[in-house]
Amino acid sequence: MIDTHRGWNMSIKPTVLGLFFSLVAIVASYRIVNHYHFSNHVLVWEILILACVQTTLQLIFFLHIGLEARPRWNTLMLLFMIFLMFVLVGGSIWIMHHLDYNVMPPLDQL
């Protein structure tokens, strides 16, 4: 028998729940930007956290991550890649920021 992810492959409920959660997250993040006046620093954190939360919910409810039978290869590979994406994006931002500061001329001299 193939892995039906605890029956979620055959059930409408998770899909509907996923839609609901995503709508909430989207509307929330849109309102945060449009209606409230957070400082930039706080805004970045809020939006990124909401994005990560929505992603996690979509991964679970749409893509059924974490529900597969053991060994949970899907989940493990995902975690591995998420870690490396953080390293790549975070590392690149860190490196490029330092390079910018040290060796790039002021913007008006570019």
- Give me the residues that bind other proteins (CB under 8 A), please: 1-4, 9-12, 14-16, 18-19, 22-23, 26, 29-30, 33-34, 40, 43-44, 47-48, 50-51, 54-55, 58-59, 62-63, 73-74, 77-78, 80-81, 84-85, 87-89, 91-96, 98-99, 101-104, 107-108, 110
Dihedral angle over CA of 97, 102, 107, 110, nearest 10: -110
Distance spanning both ends of the chain, measured CA to CA: 62
CB-wise, 67 or 80, nearer to other proteins?
A: 80
Is the Cβ–Cβ distance between 23 and 17 less than 8 Å? no
